[in-house]
Amino acid sequence: MPVLEHGEVREWRRRTTSEQWLRFLGALGLTASLVAAGAAISAQTTWVFVLDAGLQLRDLGMRMFPPDGSYVGALARPLLDTLHIATLGTALGVVIAVPLAFAAAGPTTPSRVYVRPIAILVLVTSRSVNSIIWALMLVVLLGPGMLAGVLAIAFRSVGFVGKLVYEAIEEAPELPVMAMETTGAGRAQALAFGLVPQILPTMAGVSIYRWEINIREATILGLVGAGGIGMALQASIDALRWSQVSVILLGILGTVVVAELVSARVRQGLR
């Protein structure tokens, strides 16, 4: 806490003068860049279309309501497909992620110089590319369908699960592993009995959490042709059948809520 001295008088200040200036300039820069960003967006916006949004909303609402009840039966299969995509994708993602996590974590990596950076790069790449972009690429390669969806979900999950697991490995106390090694256990045995039990709850929790996220993601993969309820959504939007769109949205909402409840229950049980 700086104290300024004016001859006899000592003045208490919360911040030094340079700190104050720094904060002021920081705030100014932040505000200026926000204004510039807002102006850039405003320049790209057709305001006439924005201003009649209320009208559009009313129009959309009227087309969506009442929901087309006869369409409910057609939803079961796409919803099940969505569930399969999320579950298989998560499972495959976890299977790929765990060895990568061991390769990326400091205490377990086979080589700090060669293997570790590559494993971390793979995890970062997987996380930076959204699952729908993965799906876009996989649909080009594998054709439209659920397989592309499953792989897209898996590729995106690898980074998420891998990162959290390798952080768990790095944070786990090393003593149990060392104790195993002093009893004459090999490296693999020491890790299996000294480390794995420590990270197993994290692994299970992270996987379930990712499964919940993946259910949500799997609902939209169909927009680019990767199977599931999104295909039905795209078809109904393209045909302007908004009364079916509202049914699909309700179906998605129900599935997401159920998945969230299941995931919360399981994670609570793991604790």
Partner 1 sequence: MASELARQWRPPRRIESAAKRRIILGGVALYGLVALVTLDIDPARIAEGLSRTGAFFSGWLRPDFVTRWTDIRAGLLESLSMTAVATAAGILLSVPLGLGAARNLVPGPVYIASRGALSMFRAFHEIIVAILFVAMFGFGPFAGVVTLTVGSVGFLGKLLAEAVEDVDPAPLEALTAAGAPWASRVVFGVLPQVMPRVLGLALYRLDINFRESAVIGLVGAGGIGATLTTAFSRYEFESVSAILILIIGLVFAAEVISGRLRRRLL
Residues lying near partner 1 in the complex (CB under 8 A) are found at 33-34, 36-38, 40-41, 44-46, 49-50, 53, 56-57, 60, 80-81, 84, 87-88, 91, 124-125, 127-130, 132-133, 136-137, 140-143, 145-147, 150, 193, 197, 216-217, 219-220, 223-224, 233, 237, 249, 252-253, 256-257
Pick between residue 38 and residue 110 the one whose CB is nearest to partner 1. 38
Pick between residue 110 and residue 186 the one whose CB is nearest to partner 1. 186
Pick between residue 103 and residue 150 the one whose CB is nearest to partner 1. 150
Contact 225, 235 (CB under 8 A): no
How many angstroms separate the CA atoms of 99 and 269, rounded?
A: 26
State yes or no: cis peptide before 99, omega within 30 of 0.
no
Q: Is 142 exposed, middle or buried (0-12, 13-18, 19+ CB in 10 A)?
A: middle
Pick between residue 100 and residue 136 the one whose CB is nearest to partner 1. 136
Terminal Cα distance for the chain, rounded: 44
Q: 């579950």: which residue's tokens?
A: 87
CB of 10 to partner 1, least distance (A): 27
Pick between residue 4 and residue 189 the one whose CB is nearest to partner 1. 189
CB of 211 to partner 1, least distance (A): 13
Handedness of CA 219, 132, 205, 268 (dihedral sign): negative
How many angstroms separate the CA atoms of 217 and 219, rounded?
A: 5
CB of 252 to partner 1, least distance (A): 7
